[in-house]
Structure 1
Amino acid sequence: MKWLVTLLVLSQSFWVYALDTVYVVKEQRPLYDRDVYLFELLEKALQAAKYNAPLEYVKVHPHQQRTLMMLAQGKVDVLWSMTSPERETLGIAVKVPLFRGYIGKRAILVNQDQLDRFANITTLDGLRPLVAVQGHDWPDTKILAHNDLTVRPQAKYEAMFSMLNSHQVDYFPRAFIEVSSELASFQRFPLAIVPNVYLHYPAAFYFFVNKDKPALAKAIENGLAIMEKNGEFKSLFDRYFAASIAALKLDNATVIELENPYFEVDANEG
């Protein structure tokens, strides 16, 4: 990875930091594997970088734009988010992909009674008459709209699954690393993954850091580089996600490629 070589050189001359408490966002909602993984990844990266500051988790409402504004205002120090040009103006983006290429791979979640309807949809044109749901402030909403897909924005996370259940929308694209946990969490709804096709667009999920704490951002970056070199990064990812990704059985599925004009073409995905 491009970020790794430079960072490993920098990491050879670490000193032990002793700094103030780092305030980390923790959304007030059920936590999934992706969340617990990111908490652990952050802690391990800081340990690897010998950045010995205590972490304090700040409970916030799960509203992405509001949380990003808290970061911009210095009310929190670290959060994680899918990147976009706008979001990278609000904090220091640590440009190490956290989900190793999987955040832009999107399983198509539907109501079970719609599986036959989706069985023959294998192109972008086939999706265009249908309605997707996405978060109203998610970068994904703009990405789908850029590709001339109809998107119904929704502010409440849980409501998106309810809308799918009640046929207010036709499908809900979800990342490979999150869809299995979500299906388990919303078992009360008859939802299913379309087995023969998925979406893909270039994207990445990054740690974002308070602009007033560049040393913290550099420590996270260096720590992730160390973990990548010694294999701990991949090992941690596999522990959380390898089995659930394999269980999706989408390796041989048709891929519908989408453009993402809001992501650097030469950046690493994930």
Structure 2
Amino acid sequence: MTIKGTIARLATLALACLAFNAQAVDAVIFDRAASPADFRREYSKALLMKVMERTVPTFGAYSIEYADAHMERPRLLAALKEGRLVNVTAYPADAKWLRSLLSVPVPTDMGLQSWRIALIDAGKQKRMRSLALPDGLKELVAGVGTAWVTRASLQGNGFRYVTGSNYAGLFDMLMAGRFDYFPRGVNEIFQEFDQRRAAFLHLAIEDSIVLHDNIPSLFFVSPRNPRLHKRIQTGMEMLLKDGTLERFVLEHHRTFLQRAKLCNRRRIELPNPDIDQAMLARKDLWLDPFNPRHGFCPAK
């Protein structure tokens, strides 16, 4: 081959490499929070960034953008199926989402959101402490979002509830006495309480009961983006294997777990038949906040 031919071939290969690299950029469109005061998405956004960074050597460049507007769960599911307005989210898993989308079977917070304590009117705290469990709590009424997985969990386990059509309105409904308690994950309740305590002077965090609903929060990816799903699953397994995920979870939630005082609470288990038993059996996926090694509960 002549020198001119060699140069031409090298130039062709270089252009091919550039074209491949341009095509290999994984473009994430993540869903948007309900409002600037809604911080529930911040942790999963930070974790997704860590996952994408960890997988650059294997999968290459990436970009992250955010949906133009917030979508409630039914609209978000439809948008994720289509994959244009949004293609990745992190949400508590339910049967429909598990069937319709590509899920990453590593809980984003190692199961912390499934430990639920409640917001209440402070005047009801004495009654909550005296309830015989679980039947006493089943006589009261919980508040949940219409399409939330928590609603299905409460219903399936025989608890009463009323629904609200939007997240912000549920706080107003609670303080208006429309329901008795508002179950929230330990990863979200303290920020919600701190943000609203000045507006709702009788708002309180119930201090005697914890519900464990076994609903993991997972990354969900549009079925139109199998490569992106593979990348996120690979990255989550990498973070899990080397201990980064556990450190990340505790870094973001340690203060919340200290405030929750879970060891002083009476515990109610809410079985979840929709979750793959193989996932529940993988002990490495779940952070046990009652394990003394984490420092939240004393050794027995």
- Aligned residue for 1:41? 47
- Aligned residue for 1:21? 27
Residues in 1 aligned to 2:71 and 2:194: alpha-carbon distance in whole angstroms:
20
- Aligned residue for 1:243? 255
- Aligned residue for 2:106? 96
| Superposed counterparts of 1:151-230, under 5 Å | 151-187=161-197, 188-189=199-200, 190-230=202-242
- The Cα of 1:60 is off from its aligned counterpart by 2.5
RMSD: 1.9
Q: What letter corresponds to residue 122 of structure 2 in structure 1?
A: Q
Residues in 1 aligned to 2:243 and 2:39: alpha-carbon distance in whole angstroms:
20
Residues in 1 aligned to 2:154 and 2:78: alpha-carbon distance in whole angstroms:
24
Residues in 2 aligned to 1:177 and 1:90: alpha-carbon distance in whole angstroms:
26
- Aligned residue for 2:137? 127
The structure with the greater share of residues assigned to helix is 2
Q: Does residue 1:116 correspond to 2:116, yes or no?
A: no
Residues in 2 aligned to 1:58 and 1:83: alpha-carbon distance in whole angstroms:
20
- Aligned residue for 2:146? 136
Q: Is the 8 A contact 2:33 2:39 kept in 1?
A: no
Q: Is the 8 A contact 1:107 1:198 kept in 2?
A: yes
What secondary structure is seen at the aligned counterpart in 2 of 1:267?
helix
Residues in 2 aligned to 1:152 and 1:69: alpha-carbon distance in whole angstroms:
25
Compare 126-135 and 29-38 and name the one that shifted more. Answer: 29-38
- Aligned residue for 1:5? none
Q: Does residue 1:265 correspond to 2:281, yes or no?
A: no
Structure whose CA Rg is larger: 2
- The Cα of 1:232 is off from its aligned counterpart by 2.1
- Aligned residue for 1:64? 73
- The Cα of 1:32 is off from its aligned counterpart by 5.1
Residues in 2 aligned to 1:231 and 1:161: alpha-carbon distance in whole angstroms:
36
Where do 5+ consecutive residues of structure 1 fail to align?
A: 1-15
Residues in 2 aligned to 1:20 and 1:223: alpha-carbon distance in whole angstroms:
13
Query: Which one scores higher on RCO, CA 8 angstroms, separation ≥ 6?
Result: 1
CA displacement, residues 70-122 of structure 1 (integer Å, 9 cap, x when unaligned) = 00112221011111111112210011101112121110221111111111124
- Aligned residue for 1:10? none
Kindly tell me: are residues 28 and 199 of structure 1, through their superposed partners in 2, closer, same or farther at Cα, counting changes over 3 Å?
Answer: closer
Kindly tell me: are residues 260 and 229 of structure 1, through their superposed partners in 2, closer, same or farther at Cα, counting changes over 3 Å?
Answer: closer
Q: Is the 8 A contact 1:83 1:205 kept in 2?
A: yes
Residues in 2 aligned to 1:267 and 1:203: alpha-carbon distance in whole angstroms:
11
- Aligned residue for 1:74? 83
Q: What letter corresponds to residue 142 of structure 1 in structure 2?
A: A
Q: What letter corresponds to residue 165 of structure 1 in structure 2?
A: M
TM-score of the superposition, structure 2-length normalised? 0.80
